[in-house]
């Protein structure tokens, strides 16, 4: 072998190995037609259940689980420096403190910090704790339509009550996706069964709770002109727990956002919602 080939041999061997690796990656689907080499790997499946939250209150009281929507890498709606995940956590904490101080119920939050939870983890926490009521708190977005304002109340249905409700459900349900991967993928058959059971066993109680929220909030908080909606929302799919999703306002509306971020607005929300919760549990005792 010539001196030149002795020098080039290691370089040529390295290039040949790299070319072989690229070819193998291409054949196995690890590399695509994009420029450069793209490696794709499946996200690890979750095998550990989310840790159960702290429950506050006397054991003799019924239990409500409050779910501040979004969290972690999922900020929810954002506008004018406000982020949904932060606003709703403040509302949830205020409501928890109000319920505890008035001794209305035992209370637990699905998250007390900036962490991400799958929709299924949220309602499964409530089921594992044996909750009597589940409330998920969110803040809506109206895109560029900043004049849209007011709170809305959602209950579960396999058929959306309107096109707007269907769009909202699709947007909220999509928060279980990261880079196109469905992090909360489950059997469609199981999901369908959960929805059907929920409708059969708890829809009446969910509707009653939603009605009481609207009644307690009249003249105190601003509701959307059409405040009641139904949609197939994943977070409401607990088959045996009355569940409501409360859209506390529009983060894209500056007045709504300021109200939700203010101590006064959080306290007003907590008073209204705690009144509705107290009424709900009182009626359940009577029935």
Model pLDDT for residues 207-247, shown as the tens digit of each residue? 999 999 999 999 999 999 999 999 989 999 888 899 999 99
- The residue among 114, 106, 116, 130 whose CA lies nearest residue 54 is 106
Taking residues 132-156, report their average pLDDT: 92
User: Which pLDDT score is estimated for 157?
Assistant: 81
- The lowest-confidence range among 51-65, 71-85, 163-177 is 163-177
CA angle 149, 150, 151 (to 5 degrees): 140
CA angle 157, 170, 84 (to 5 degrees): 105
pLDDT confidence bin for 50, thresholds 50/70/90? confident
In the predicted model, what is the mean pLDDT of the chain?
A: 81
Residue ranges in the chain assigned as alpha helix (H): 3-27, 84-102, 119-129, 163-173, 188-217, 254-261, 263-286
Lookup: tokens for 134: 């589940």
Q: What is the pLDDT of residues 28-41, one digit of tens each?
A: 443 444 444 443 43
What is the distance of C-alpha 254 from the center of its chain?
A: 23
pTM (global) more than 0.85: no
Pairing of strands 82-83, 78-79: antiparallel
Give me Rg for the CA atoms of the chain. Answer: 24
Residues 274, 159: contact at Cβ < 8 Å? no
């Amino acid at each position: 072998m010539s001196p030149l080939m002795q020098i080039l041999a290691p370089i040529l061997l390295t290039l040949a190995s790299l070319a072989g690796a690229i070819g193998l990656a291409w054949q196995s689907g690890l590399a695509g037609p994009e420029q450069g080499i793209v490696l794709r790997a499946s996200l690890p499946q979750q095998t550990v259940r989310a840790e159960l939250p702290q429950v506050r209150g006397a054991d003799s009281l019924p239990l409500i689980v409050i779910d501040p929507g979004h969290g972690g890498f999922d900020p929810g709606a954002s506008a004018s420096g406000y982020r949904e995940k932060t606003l709703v956590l403040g509302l949830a904490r205020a409501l928890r403190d109000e319920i505890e101080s008035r001794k209305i119920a035992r209370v637990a939050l699905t998250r007390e910090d900036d962490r991400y939870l799958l929709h299924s983890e949220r309602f499964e926490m409530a089921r594992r704790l044996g909750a009597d009521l589940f409330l998920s708190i969110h803040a809506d977005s109206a895109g560029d339509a900043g004049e849209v304002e007011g709170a809305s109340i959602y209950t579960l249905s396999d058929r959306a009550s309107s096109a707007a409700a269907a769009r909202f459900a699709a947007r909220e349900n999509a928060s279980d996706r990261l880079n196109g991967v469905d992090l909360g993928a489950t059997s469609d058959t199981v999901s369908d069964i959960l929805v059907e059971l929920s409708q059969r066993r708890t829809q009446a109680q969910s509707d009653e709770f939603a009605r009481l929220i609207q009644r307690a909030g009249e003249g105190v908080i601003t509701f959307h002109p059409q405040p009641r909606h139904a949609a197939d929302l994943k977070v409401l799919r607990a088959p045996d727990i009355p569940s409501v999703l409360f859209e506390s306002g529009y983060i894209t509306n500056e007045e709504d956002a300021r109200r939700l971020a203010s101590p006064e607005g959080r306290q007003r929300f907590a008073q209204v919602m705690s009144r509705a919760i107290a009424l709900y549990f009182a009626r359940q005792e009577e029935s």
